[in-house]
Amino acid sequence: MNKSTFVKKTTMFLNTLDFVKKPVVFDELDSTNLTAKALAKAGAEEGTVVIARTQSHGRGRFDRIWQSPLGGIYLSLVLRPSVPIQQASLLSFMTALVVAKTVRSYGPQAMIKWPNDVRVKGRKIAGILLESEGDGSKVDYVVVGVGINLSIDLKNLSSALQGKSTSLLNELPCPVDYYDFLKTFFRTFEHFYTVFQGQRYEEILTEWKAWSDTLGKRVKVKTMTGTLQGTAYDVDHSGFLLLRTEKGDTKKILSGDCLYFDELDHT
Ligand code: BTN
C-alpha cells in the first residue's frame, strides 16, 4: 500500500466506527501521542483518534523509545471522561485488558504484566502510554497511546528488543488484517469504556486480574525512588500494586517497571 492509499483507506475505515468521532491519519509521524496531546490541548473532542503507519519518535513509558516499524498499529485516542482525576489511571488497565482480549480473539494467549504490558509467552506484543491533564478533581483530557506489534517483522526491531518482543505475525500461521484487528479493538474498547464511564471500576479490575500473570509472582519493581522486591499479592482499587516484601512489610506501588524473578537471568 502506498502512502496516500493508507491515509485515504484508514480515514474511510475509521469513519465507519461509532466510537471514532474524528480520525486524524498520517503515513509517518513523530509520535501519535504528541499530536493527540496537542489536539486535546486545542480542544479536540472525545473520540478523536490519531493513527500513523509508522512513527519516527514513538515514545514508551519512562521516556523510552517505542520502535515503530511498518506493520504495527500506532494510535492515540483522546478521551474526556467525566470522572475524578485519580480514576483516570485505571484507563491504562482497561486498555491493556482490551488489547489482550483483542489479541486473544485471534488465538495467541495474551496475558498482562502489571501495569499494562501485553505479552504472549513472556514476550511483549503491545504497550500502552497514558498521558492526562486535569485539575485535582476533574480530568481535562486523557490521551491513550497504544502500540501493537501486529504484522511487524521482528528483524526490524533492535537486537536488544528482538528476544523480548513478539508480533501477531510471529505467533500465527497467517497475518491478521490491520482493519479487522482495529475493528475488534474499537468494539471491545467501546464496551469497556461504557463500563468505566458507569464507574464500575471493580468489574474492570476483576477482569484485569483474571488476565494478568503478575499476582502471586515474586517480582522486582524499579520505581522512581528505588527498587523493591517481594511477592505481588494484589492490585488495589486505584491500580496500585501491593507487594509483600521478604521482611513481611506491605508496599504500595503506583508506578514502576515490573520484572518477574522467574524470568530474570540469575547467572
Ligand atoms: C510502553 O512503554 O510499553 C508504552 C508504549 C506505547 C507506544 C504507543 S505507539 C502509539 C503511541 N504514540 C507514542 O509515541 N507512544 C504510544
pLDDT tens string, the chain, 267 residues long: the values are 766 899 999 999 999 999 999 999 999 999 999 999 999 999 999 999 999 999 999 999 999 999 999 999 999 999 999 888 888 999 999 999 999 999 999 999 999 999 999 999 999 999 999 999 998 788 999 999 999 999 999 999 999 999 999 999 999 999 999 999 999 999 999 999 999 999 999 999 999 999 999 999 999 999 999 999 999 999 999 999 999 998 999 999 999 999 999 898 654
Helix (H, G, I), strand (E, B) or coil at 209: helix
> What gap in Å lies between CA 120 and CA 154, rounded to an integer?
14
Instruction: Return the residue whose CA atom lies nearest to atom 3 of ligand 1.
Output: 127
> What gap in Å lies between CA 158 and CA 144, rounded to an integer?
25
Q: Has this prediction a pTM greater than 0.85?
A: yes
Helix (H, G, I), strand (E, B) or coil at 111: strand
Provide the pLDDT for residue 86: 82
For 222-243, give one letter per residue: b (16+ CB within 10 A) or e. Answer: eeeeeebebebebbeeebbbbb
> What gap in Å lies between CA 21 and CA 36, rounded to an integer?
13
Percent of the chain as helix, strand, coil, to the nearest 5 = 35, 35, 35
Cα(180) to centroid of ligand 1, in Å?
A: 21
Ligand 1: residues with CB < 6 A are: 31-33, 55, 58-61, 64, 66, 74-76, 117, 127-129, 145-147
Check if the beta carbon of residue 113 is closer than 8 Å to that of residue 213: yes
The candidate with the shortest Cα–Cα distance to 27, out of 1, 7, 8, 43, is 7
> What gap in Å lies between CA 248 and CA 226, rounded to an integer?
18
245 pairs with which residues across the strands? 230
Radius of gyration for the alpha carbons in the chain, expressed in angstroms and rounded: 18
> What gap in Å lies between CA 234 and CA 217, rounded to an integer?
10
Cα(247) to centroid of ligand 1, in Å?
A: 36
Cα(66) to centroid of ligand 1, in Å?
A: 6
Number of residues that make up the chain: 267
Closest ligand 1 atom to Cα of 59:
14
By most ligand atoms within 8 Å of CB, the mutation choice from 146, 167, 255, 258 for ligand 1 is 146
By most ligand atoms within 8 Å of CB, the mutation choice from 66, 99, 157, 258 for ligand 1 is 66
Provide the pLDDT for residue 267: 45
Helix (H, G, I), strand (E, B) or coil at 97: helix
